């Protein structure tokens, strides 16, 4: 990434006013976020990009249209999919959201014993409960962090295979259950080292800006624009 690139000039980020146009007339009033560190927000600062994490960015753009929007972020670092469901789903349902973001499974995929069917079952349980409660649900195929320069070479191939399998499975769950799915795994920037933090597990402020752009574009497809 050129050192002079900023969010304002990054071709993969939104231009001023674009978020408002994408979300114009959106109906959502209560936004809940469930998940792991990606949901909580552990992005590493990057020059030229505001230090504002992905879910908070989405909430801010939704609030720019509807200032009364209520926002609850339950995300906590280190949780596997079954722990997200066990510790966050009840609180999310009690919040009565009409829009929910569910992002988890990455901590499962970091383990060599990753069981995609078990993660699918947890995602299915959370999505189904939220949909039955009246919420639109956002799911995510995450950036493949195996491209991070901080991942040891000996671990890169195995981690990449598991991250891509997680993404394929999550997209399958999304298609089956009718979520608003954001697919980042094959994004043109996925191998760009500027997307990743120095810990080899998380993203940078640039990745959160790019993910926000892609998420708002998906939300826009759900809205009745002329």
Domain of residue 71, CATH code:
3.40.50.1110
Residue 6 falls within a domain, yes or no? no
Secondary element (H or E) of residue 106: helix 106-109
Backbone phi, psi, residue 115, to 5°: -115, 100
Main-chain dihedrals φ then ψ at residue 48, nearest 5 degrees? 90, -5
Range of the domain at 162: 18-220
44-89 per-position pLDDT tens digit: 899 999 989 999 999 999 999 999 999 999 999 999 999 999 999 9
Neighbours of 111 (CB within 10 A): 11
Does residue 11 lie within any of the structural domains? no
| Mean pLDDT (the chain, rounded) | 94
**What's the domain count of the chain?**
1
Is 1 or 117 the better-scoring residue by pLDDT? 117
Q: What is the pLDDT of residue 225?
A: 64
CA distance 225 to 16: 19
13 inside domain? no
Q: Is residue 7 part of a domain?
A: no
Give a yes or no: residue 214 inside a domain.
yes
What per-residue confidence (pLDDT) applies to 217?
97
Does 143 have pLDDT greater than 50?
yes
Residue 5 lies in a domain: no
For the cut 60, the answer to whether the pLDDT of residue 127 exceeds it is: yes
pTM above 0.85, yes or no: yes
Which residues, in sequence order, are CB contacts of 114 under 8 Å at separation 6+?
A: 108, 162, 165, 166
pLDDT at residue 3, as a whole number: 54
Tell me if 55 is assigned to some domain. yes
């Amino acid at each position: 990434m050129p050192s002079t690139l900023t969010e304002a000039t990054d071709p993969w980020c939104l231009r001023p006013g674009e978020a408002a146009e994408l979300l114009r007339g959106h109906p959502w009033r209560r936004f809940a976020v469930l998940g792991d560190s990606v949901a909580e927000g552990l992005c590493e600062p990057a020059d030229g990009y505001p230090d504002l994490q992905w879910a908070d960015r989405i909430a801010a753009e939704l609030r720019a249209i509807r200032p009364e929007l209520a926002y609850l972020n339950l995300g906590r670092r280190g949780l596997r999919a079954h722990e997200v469901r066990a510790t966050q789903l009840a609180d999310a349902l009690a919040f009565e959201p009409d829009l929910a973001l569910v992002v988890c499974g990455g901590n499962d995929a970091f383990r060599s014993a990753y069981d995609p069917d078990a993660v699918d079952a947890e995602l299915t349980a959370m999505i189904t409960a939220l949909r039955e409660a009246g919420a639109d649900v956002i799911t995510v195929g995450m950036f493949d962090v195996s491209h991070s320069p901080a991942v040891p070479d000996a671990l890169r191939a195995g981690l990449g295979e598991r991250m891509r399998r997680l993404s394929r499975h999550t997209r399958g769950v999304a298609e089956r259950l009718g979520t608003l799915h954001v697919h980042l795994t094959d994004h043109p920037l996925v191998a760009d080292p500027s997307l990743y933090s120095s810990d080899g597990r998380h993203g940078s402020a640039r990745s959160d800006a790019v993910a926000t752009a892609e998420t708002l574009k998906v939300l826009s497809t759900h809205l009745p624009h002329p």
